[in-house]
Structure 1
Amino acid sequence: MPELDFTGLKDAAYRGFKPQFETVVAVARRRRRRRRVLTVATAALVLAGSGVAVAARPDAPAPPGVGIGGGRTPDFIPVPGRTPAPGTDQGVVTGRPAAGDLDHIYLRWSECGGCRIRWAGTEDGGRHWRTGDLPASVNGTLDLRAVGPRTLVGRSVPRLAPDNRDDEWIASTDGGSTWRKVQRRTVEALPAGWAVLSPRSGPTTEPLVAVDPATGDVAQLSRRPALHNAMLVESVPAEAGLWVSGFTGEHVATDGRITGAGGAVEVSRDGGRTWSRHAFPDDLSASDDVGGPAVATRDGRTVYAIGRVRGSLVVWRSADGGATWTRAAGTAAVGDRTIRAALRPDGVLVVQAGISAREDPLMLASSDGGATWRRTALGPGADPRPVPGGFVQTGWPDSKGVWLSTDGTTWSWLDPPELR
């Protein structure tokens, strides 16, 4: 909000026997009971009071939008099995799209699980694409990120590297045309104005990193996250501070399965030098397996921590930047679905419960700070990433493209290119 990517093995220092993040999520999905496949009627509409706009199906007139052109606009939640799982050898294997802004979109890809890793990029919202090779080992993995319109970084990790000690960082400041190796440096606080990243998608025990959007230089905090299963909240603007969600402890089941205990959030307003923590009661969590509560904020002052407790949606609100919290009155039945949440620019709090068709997803909206909730149309907006000029939300791993929005409310879809 986690957005998934093919980023290598879980670092051995943190529960070395745990599988990759993608594997954890896949197993969790298979564990969940089979639900009916929801076919989303995505004719262009705005539900009364919801403000969630969804682009039309291909058999309807295509609405104008960034980067769509005459291309197909898919259902918001694709049918299970339409996209091969990451890491399989079923045709082209792609990673999560990386957006420098609404026009500059990049992704890493290969023609098979063991082939050389390449990149593809567009500078005009998908009308034209370029491709090239990435200087990364074919026997490892590479996570590609955009930290500016034309500035990219990649973290390459040999597949069997213990504790990721043999990782390498590469950077490009010309949209992927040329690359250089980057030696990351360790700092006590991340530099102001640099793009802050988690070193991997999903939960991690590794310190946060920051990348200079002008040069591609990489700095890493000297301290690891204090929370278990820590996840950087990527949906908040940079000026709202650094927010991390996770757990204060863990449950170990009799079958050896490990889940988080004591959902909590931490915030830093000095680049990660110091942190403030708040732990919530009842094991508040957005998922059974990864991450703590979902966090939604736009200014770092009004903040929501959202999750589920025993199958019910639970919302906590802070009006003072996380110093004190009050539980909101509203709730909804969400079962064991994965929770994503965001505070839209128009002040509507949106929650997506379920991130794949197997979870029978539903969308909820609140205009009164979580006091009441209403069902609304499925659509993007609950897991956005702010970029210059608007917001992006990927469909990874269930679909390979990206949603684009100038206002965080109305979205258009960008299909990935044909890669062969």
Structure 2
Amino acid sequence: MPELDFTGLKDAAYRGFKPQFEKVVADARRRRRRRHVLTVATAAMLLAGSGVAVAARPDAPAPPPAGIGGVRTPDFMPTPGGTPTPGTDQGVVTGRPVAGDLNHIYLRWSKCGGCGIRWAGTEDGGRHWRTGDLPVPVNATLDLRAAGPRTLVARYVPRSAPDNRYAEWIASTDGGSTWRKVQPRTAEALPAGWQVLGRRSGPTTEPLVAVDPATGDIVQLGQRSTLHNAMLVESVPAEAGLWVSGFTGERIATDGRITGTGGAAEVSRDGGRTWSRHAFPDDLAASDDVGGPAVATRDGRTVYAIGRVRGSLVVWRSADGGATWTRAAGTADVGDRTIRAALRPDGVLVVQAGISAQEDPVMLASSDGGATWRRTTLGPGADPRAVSGGFVQTGWPDSKGVWVSTDGATWSWVDPPELP
């Protein structure tokens, strides 16, 4: 940061990035189009009361089953104000769904300000759902994650806490029925085979953490990322290494925004103990707010760094795991849309330009490593998460359910639950 010194403001902004990160990004982009000064606001659950329980209530009523597919498969990015998806009744606030595999899907929800925070989960791909209490203060902000089919962790900060240093963790290894408090331990490297979590404020502010899928134990790195505004690339398979995207520097824009400069990617192949970095020469970025270029790889050797430069899609390709890079010839007009990208198992490179309906998203595909691009049908596939048996992706916040796929190319829709 420059010396005048905006560090406190920036840290406060990072602390505000909690449950609805992508919605905050989309809102920020709309404000920029109107030339307003960017203000990062906390999207928190405003709930009342306090107190921590040890386990979920065994008598918690279960919502009615939602089924798979519903009446019809919704648009991937439905038009704002269109037909609401199940589970979005007025008064019910839900979080982003998370998946332990193609059948085990979970989300956090709340009915009213004083009703507490709850979880809902399915073990059969959405045919039946059950629900229970989350043993956290009802006024907390909370991030729910899945580390395995029946292993969940939740990180929460009571509303009365001054900042994220007072965050606490809880874990469940039985699909949410019982919970225990977990104290993360610090290590020089994250254990192999553990689920690495992309935290909302990013590894620049908070070290990367990993969860044991069997026990729910948590380990965090001892060091934070040295990149600015960094984020973990969660769509990269674990066997391809840890990839972090961010910036080598920052500048203050004319409208007062703090933006990144020098888009860069870092990779670690030893659990975060050591890192190698490559900075791209054209300020490559997938978003103006958090993270540098989008990174796409399946094996960690053939890697693509993708973003936009002055409204045009730019692709850099590495054939040696990020040691050297070559700029691909293909391009497309993407404006100032947010970029997401992934390399499918069939070798097709896919790009989603725009992550919310308000960005008027478009989908692009390349079968020749970014040399040429074709426009294709908008749908999931550019921001998948690998799970046992396939892949999952949400359309959240525009779509409240989950897309699932066994091959990363053909996707099916799972309705969210109809919450009471």
CA distance in 1, matches of 2:83, 2:110: 15
Q: Which ranges in structure 1 are unaligned for 5 or more consecutive residues?
A: 1-10, 35-66
The alignment status of 1:103 with 2:103, answered yes or no, reads yes
How far did residue 72 of structure 1 move?
Answer: 3.0
Give CA-to-partner distance per residue, 1:259-294, whole Å, 9 cap, x none.
111100000001101100000012100012221100
CA distance in 2, matches of 1:150, 1:136: 19
The alignment status of 1:230 with 2:226, answered yes or no, reads no
SS of the residue corresponding to residue 12 of structure 2 reads coil
How far did residue 17 of structure 1 move?
Answer: 4.8
Question: Paired residue for 2:12?
Answer: 16
The alignment status of 1:255 with 2:239, answered yes or no, reads no
How far did residue 413 of structure 1 move?
Answer: 0.7
Residues 179-218 of structure 1 mapped to structure 2, 5 A cutoff: 179-200=179-200, 205-218=205-218
**Alignment RMSD (CA, Å):** 2.2
Q: Which ranges in structure 2 are unaligned for 5 or more consecutive residues?
A: 1-6, 36-66
Sequence identity (%): 84
CA distance in 1, matches of 2:34, 2:81: 17
Contact 1:203/1:291 (<8 A) preserved:
no
Question: Paired residue for 2:348?
Answer: 348
Give CA-to-partner distance per residue, 1:111-131, whole Å, 9 cap, x none.
135541000000000000000
Question: Paired residue for 2:387?
Answer: 387
Which one is further off, 339-348 or 160-169?
A: 160-169
How far did residue 29 of structure 1 move?
Answer: 2.5
Higher relative contact order (CA 8 A, sep 6+): 1
SS of the residue corresponding to residue 375 of structure 2 reads strand
Question: Paired residue for 1:26?
Answer: 27
Structure 1 residues 167, 281: CA separation in 2 closer, same or farther (over 3 Å shift)?
Answer: same
SS of the residue corresponding to residue 291 of structure 1 reads coil
How far did residue 12 of structure 1 move?
Answer: 6.1
Structure 1 residues 135, 193: CA separation in 2 closer, same or farther (over 3 Å shift)?
Answer: same
TM-score of the aligned structures, taking structure 1 as reference length: 0.85
Structure 1 residues 83, 280: CA separation in 2 closer, same or farther (over 3 Å shift)?
Answer: farther
SS of the residue corresponding to residue 314 of structure 1 reads strand
Residues 171-186 of structure 1 mapped to structure 2, 5 A cutoff: 171-186=171-186
Give CA-to-partner distance per residue, 1:73-95, whole Å, 9 cap, x none.
101111124599xxx99521111
Contact 2:203/2:224 (<8 A) preserved:
no
Which one is further off, 203-212 or 92-101?
A: 203-212
CA distance in 1, matches of 2:248, 2:89: 38
The alignment status of 1:372 with 2:388, answered yes or no, reads no
TM-score of the aligned structures, taking structure 2 as reference length: 0.85
Structure 1 residues 158, 152: CA separation in 2 closer, same or farther (over 3 Å shift)?
Answer: same
Question: Paired residue for 2:295?
Answer: 295
Letter in 2 for 1:100: G
Structure 1 residues 338, 83: CA separation in 2 closer, same or farther (over 3 Å shift)?
Answer: farther
Contact 1:284/1:293 (<8 A) preserved:
yes
Contact 1:391/1:406 (<8 A) preserved:
yes
CA distance in 2, matches of 1:377, 1:288: 25
SS of the residue corresponding to residue 74 of structure 1 reads coil
Residues 107-146 of structure 1 mapped to structure 2, 5 A cutoff: 107-112=107-112, 115-146=115-146
Structure 1 residues 90, 281: CA separation in 2 closer, same or farther (over 3 Å shift)?
Answer: farther
Contact 1:247/1:264 (<8 A) preserved:
yes
Structure 1 residues 216, 363: CA separation in 2 closer, same or farther (over 3 Å shift)?
Answer: same
How far did residue 415 of structure 1 move?
Answer: 1.2
Question: Paired residue for 2:62?
Answer: none
